[in-house]
A and B are shown apart, each in its own frame.
Chain A
Amino acid sequence: MKFKLVIISFILILLPTGFAFADGHRAGAGTQKIEKSIAAEPTVAVSLCVDSGDVTVRGWDKNEVFARSSEVGQIELKRADAGMQSGSAAKVLVWLADKNEGWEEKGGCHAFGDVQLMVPRGASLYLQTGDGTIDVGDVASIFARSETGDISIQKASRSVEAVSFSGEISVENSKGRVALKSVSGVVSATNLRPNDQNDCFEASTISGDIRLDQLSHQQVSVKTANGKIDVSGPLAFQGRYTFNTTSSDVTLSLPANASFRLNARVARDRELTSDFPLTLTIEDPVPVIARKPVTARPSAPEPQPAPAPQPKEPVVVMVDPQEKTIKVKPVIVKTLYSLRRINAVHGSGDALITIASFSGTIHLIDSGN
């Protein structure tokens, strides 16, 4: 009896091990890297679409498109520049096919498997994947679309356009026009510069947060319905910044020497907090409710021979529509009416910041403090 128990236990221990070994052996036997390459122009346009799988693309100095995958059955690099079959390819379609698919299935987006591409640094990419990630670096232009996977782009030199449904989008150290769109993923952009003054930066989400750091574009447009907006870094000279959110906060962390004009639209009972001394200009209120008696805090004292000490804590100001211009020190502005416009200036007012927040709070933070 005891001997039988020992035998049974031994078998039970060995069986899972055997299966695991068999699976590994089968995987090892089927994991065969497939590589293809084709001569291409330095500004070749490359298109790739997979249903599921990670896509990794890097730019290199060769005038050649190189594709590699260890999980698909077939790879074909097809020239898409009709009529020019000789010489280097100007347009390349990367076709992937699963092991069990026939030739007629190639060209669709049904392949499963990770793919690595090497393309010329001046290449333009058009990439699509379903639930895989897209990782691109050191190319000229990228259009990347992932349904649920993350998108990461570095060192793009001309333009970036990325769309993800629920994945995160990250763009770093790139130049040119940038347009990022995600429904619920976080959109982050770091150290971006325009190639010329016409290049703009756009980011939009529905519920994902948007985090921007060190953007040099002169035209920045950010929109989200329910995500937070966090912006840090210096403002571009004469830049135009537009931030639009419905129910979230907008936080701008600016250097102490930032110079800007602020046009803010906020709802009633919402605040605009500022570490910067602002010169507020209040527009005529919309007569929707009766005016309430407001006890405004005294404004900053007139210049005296002995300068008055500046308060360290921000001053709470109830905006009085009778006072058109108020010079205040660091301030918390509280609005009275349902929706109000608050115009303010700090410094010489070089950049223009337009913020619309229906039910969020606007924070202007001095990053130098």
Chain B
Amino acid sequence: MKECLQEEVLQSYLDGELHERRMEQVTSHLASCVICGNLARQLEQENSLVTAALAAEFEAAVPSERLRQRLDAAITANRLETATGNATAANARNWLSSLSDLFTFRPQRALAYASLLIVVGFGVIMAMMRWQTAPTPLTNSTIATVTPATNQAAVTAPSSSGAIQPTETAETSRTIATVRKNRRPPSNGVSATPAHRQDVAANHVKLLPGERSYLQTIAQLDSSIKSEKSRMKPDVQAEYQRNLAFVDRTLAVARTAAKSNPNDPDATEFMFSAYQSKVDLLNTVAEARVIDK
């Protein structure tokens, strides 16, 4: 050992805390190294001074073995509780860490999440559309757009502020045919507003092609009539309600038949004829001067 010893090594040598071989090495080094020998003698003097100064402390009574055991047991119990809590927390941390792995946006995972989001969003939109259009109060549109133009010869009649347009056609089939020209393309997933809610459920709230235009016209006329309903004469209002009930019952039956017989064009024609009857009724009432003064 040619290198000088560190102070900590010398202190351990003086305290007798080194291994036997290490002790021999240090002893041989001290015998040959003047510096380390001097340092060792200095450390011995310091130790003796400290020992002398703390002699009273060293002679104080120490805890008994039984007390020591009790202390050790208490310490052990405390350590166990801490370990249990740490284990629970560790489990939670492990679970959270595993969960957080799901949100690690690797490319494949990001693509899967995006696809799932699109499907869920589409389903929500469809559900909202069905819910919103189930008892739909339909939007406004042109008054009596399904009322076809007459093909009759012109009548020489004076014009006035209350001129009333004829709304009849030569033939019913022509009426329905003309209505078809005004129909919008059919849309999917929309619900109808039949007179009775039982019919809605029974007919799966699905409109046949061409129904939408009728329903929109009916809604337009109905809103116009309702705005004046409070001013309608009582007898006229009663008559109107009675006829409206007739037409609605007829329409409900015709729709049921049309939906039950999708291959029968006659059933569809009857349904549209019933719709036309309702439009005619609403037109007549809307144009009538039935306001009570």
Contacts and interface: CB of A to CB of B under 8 A. Distances in A.
Do the two shown chains form a genuine complex with each other? Answer: yes
Interface of A: 43, 45-47, 49, 51, 80, 91-93, 107, 109, 124-126, 128, 130-131, 140-141, 143, 145, 147-148, 158-159, 161, 163, 165-166, 177, 179, 181, 183-184, 198-200, 202, 204, 206-207, 219, 221, 223, 225-226, 240, 242, 244, 246-247, 265, 267, 286-288, 338-341, 354, 356, 358-359
A177 B155 contact: yes
A100 B211 CA distance: 50
Contact of B261 (A92, A131, A207, A338): A338
B250 A177 contact: no
A52 to B, nearest CB: 9
Nearest to A145: B164
A358 B273 CA distance: 10
Interface in B2-44: none
Interface string B281-293: 1001100111001
Contacts of A47: 158, 160
Contacts of B153: 159, 177, 198-199
Contact of A358 (B164, B239, B254): B254
Interface stretch (B50-58, B66-74, B165-173): B165-173
Contacts of A267: 257
B155 A161 contact: yes
A286 B261 contact: yes
B107 interface: no
7 contacts: A45-B158, A124-B156, A126-B158, A143-B155, A165-B288, A183-B284, A339-B267
Given A80-B158, A161-B157, A206-B280, 13 more contacts: A124-B155, A200-B152, A206-B247, A207-B246, A223-B273, A225-B277, A240-B171, A246-B273, A287-B263, A339-B264, A356-B269, A356-B270, A359-B253
A242 B171 CA distance: 7
Nearest to A143: B157
A159 to B, nearest CB: 5
A166 B166 contact: no
Interface string B232-259: 0101100110110011001001100100
Contact of A159 (B155, B163, B233, B240): B155
Interface of B: 152-153, 155-164, 166-173, 233, 235-236, 239-240, 242-243, 246-247, 250, 253-254, 257, 260-261, 263-264, 266-267, 269-270, 273-274, 277, 280-281, 284-285, 288-290, 293
A221 B170 contact: yes
A147 B292 CA distance: 12
B261 A225 contact: no
Interface hub of A226, A287, A340 (most chain B Cβ within 10 A)? A226
B162 A163 contact: no
Contacts of A286: 261, 263-264, 266
Contact of A288 (B159, B247, B261): B261
List the 3 shortest-distance A-B pairs measured between CB atoms, nearest first.
A45-B158, A244-B172, A225-B277
Contact of A109 (B158, B162, B164, B247): B162
B225 to A, nearest CB: 12
Contact of B155 (A49, A141, A339): A141
Contacts of A181: 167-168, 280, 284
A43 B155 CA distance: 13
A245 to B, nearest CB: 9
Contacts of B158: 45-47, 80, 91-93, 124, 126
Contact of B289 (A92, A109, A177): A109
Contact of B246 (A159, A226, A358, A359): A226
Contacts of A145: 162, 164
Contact of A221 (B171, B235, B270): B171
A183 B170 contact: no
A265 B155 contact: no
B290 A165 contact: yes
Contacts of A240: 171
B182 to A, nearest CB: 19
Nearest to A208: B243
Contacts of B157: 45, 124-126, 141, 143, 161
A165 B171 contact: no
A339 B266 contact: yes
B160 A49 contact: yes
A287 B261 CA distance: 9
A215 to B, nearest CB: 14
